Every structure is written in structure tokens, then in C-alpha cells.
Structure 1
Amino acid sequence: MPKDARPRPCSIADALEVVGERWTLLVIRELFHGVRRFDRIARNTGASRDILTARLRKLEAAGIITRRPYSEHPPRHEYHLTAAGRELGDVLLMLGRWGDRHLNPDDPPVRWHHSCGELLDPVVVCACCGGPAREGAHTPVGRGVL
């Protein structure tokens, strides 16, 4: 890469620095399922204790989760999503939708239901016209556009 070449400024790249790793997203998935304790998160994700500890610390430092004590003797904590962490639910739903369509089209392993009782099919829509993002032209605007 030439000396003066710099990576494109991008919030996607910034977000991936925090959550763009398999174990991190699986931890967040577990918290969305209501799993809050270390041992159950480890079991459900398959992450080793040292990897899980590192990911939980990174998520806490980034303000995505908080730790809350539930036992003093021995000291134990539960993990809870912050408002920023809860917003990642939309990302997980869209990632799951992609996986269902392209990796598990015949038998999606998880079906999400909306509070109305119907199957949830998450979509990204334009805030102005309500049209699906997939159908419109995507024109980035900002300092990362060349």
C-alpha cells in the first residue's frame, strides 16, 4: 500500500473493531436469549474461559454490556446488555436472516416471532419513503466517500 494511502473512514470498520469477531457476537446472542451467567454463556457459545473473559471485558469497556453482582461469596456477576448492546439486536436479526436464506434455506435453526405472534422477517427500510433498502440505490455520503 502506498505511504499516503489510508483506509476508507467507515463506521462499519469502527463497529467491527468492537463486535466483529465470532465469540463476541455469540456472547451478544446469548444475552439476547436471556443467558446472563458466565458458565452458561461459555457452554452455549463453545468459547474457552480465557476467550470468553477477554470478550466480556472488551464488551464492557465498549459500553455494550454491564456486570452486576449476584453473589458475594464467591464473587459472581451476571452480564446485561446496555441500550447500545440492545441495539445490536437488529444487526443479529439481519445476520440471522441472511444465514437462513443462504446457509440454511431448507431448515432455519431458529424462528423469531414478533410480539403480534407472527414470524418476524426483519427488513431495512428507507426512513423517508419506507421502501426496502435492497431495492434502492445505495449512495454513501460522508468523509469516507471518494
Structure 2
Amino acid sequence: MPNKNRCLTPATDEECRRARLSLQDTLDVVGGKWKLVLISILRGGKLKFRELSREAGISPRILSKELKEMEINGLVTRTVLDTRPIMVEYELTPYSNTLSEVIIAMHEWGKKHRQKMIGQKS
């Protein structure tokens, strides 16, 4: 007899398959070490590339890759400023706000997990 609780809320095998695909889609967009960190930093407002690199503690090469992926997925906009030297500024799109509940839930879980791990070490 199949376990109906093996996925989040769906009950059928097809619903479970679609739920796994949805989770994979989410991870494809925000997964990795940096994307949610960058989103949380950019929630404070626009930043130039170098400012964002410093604030996040991320190398320019990795930052560039992450920002390109985030731009493709509609999470950030890139503005080339008419300055010498040329500077690029990034800001969150309104679409990025759809991740707010996910970020809040992960933040809450992370706090609880940290407390649990600290408690185990004591």
C-alpha cells in the first residue's frame, strides 16, 4: 500500500510527481549558496555591483553568474549607469516579493535549527 503522506499535500502519484517538479523548479531559481542572501541584501534597496560584492562577501565572478541567473528568472533588474567608469546597479523586481513567504519560513526554520544545534553542543 503506497504511503499517501510521502509528499507535501497531494494524494495521488501524479500530484506527488508535480509537487516534486515544483520543488525542483523552486530550487533551480533560488537554490545555491548565494541567491537568497543576495535577495535579502537587495531588499534594502539598489546597490552597485561592487557594493553588493562587498556586502555579500562574494567574489565578482560568482556574483556576476548569480546575478545573471537571477535576472533571467525575473528577480533582479540590471541598470547600466551613464558614468565613467561605467557602473552597474541592481535592484529587486516586484516579482521577487513572491519569495517573501519562502524567505521568512526559511529564516524561522534556520533560527530554530541553530538553537537546536547549539543546545546539542551544550
Task: Tell me if both proteins adopt one fold, taking TM over 0.5 as the criterion.
Answer: yes
- Aligned match of 1:49: 60
Higher helix proportion (structure 1 or 2):
2
Query: TM-score w.r.t. structure 1 length?
Result: 0.60
Q: Which amino acid aligns with 1:68?
A: T
C-alpha contact 2:46 2:92 (8 A) present in aligned 1: no
Aligned length, in residue pairs = 100
Aligned CA distance change for structure 1 residues 98 and 8 (closer, same or farther; 3 Å) = closer
Deviations 1:65-95 (A, max 9, x none): 1112334322212111112212222221111
**Mapped pair 1:20 → 2:35:** no
- Aligned match of 2:49: 38
Q: 60, 63, 76: which one pairs with 2:87?
A: 76
Q: Which amino acid aligns with 2:33?
A: R
Decide which moves more: 49-58 or 37-46. Answer: 37-46
Q: Structure 1 stretches (4+) deviating beyond 6 angstroms?
A: none
C-alpha contact 1:35 1:41 (8 A) present in aligned 2: no
Q: Superposed, which structure 2 residues align to 1:1-146 within 5 Å?
A: 9-34=20-45, 36-104=47-115
Residue 46 of structure 1: CA displacement? 1.5
Residue 35 of structure 1: CA displacement? 5.1
Structure 2: where are the runs of 5+ without partners?
1-16, 117-122
Deviations 1:88-130 (A, max 9, x none): 222211111111122147xxxxxxxxxxxxxxxxxxxxxxxxx
Deviations 1:33-76 (A, max 9, x none): 22522122212222111000000011111111111233432221
Q: Secondary structure at the match of 2:45?
A: coil
Q: Secondary structure at the match of 2:58?
A: coil
Query: TM-score w.r.t. structure 2 length?
Result: 0.70
RMSD: 2.2
CA distance in 2, matches of 1:75, 1:104: 45
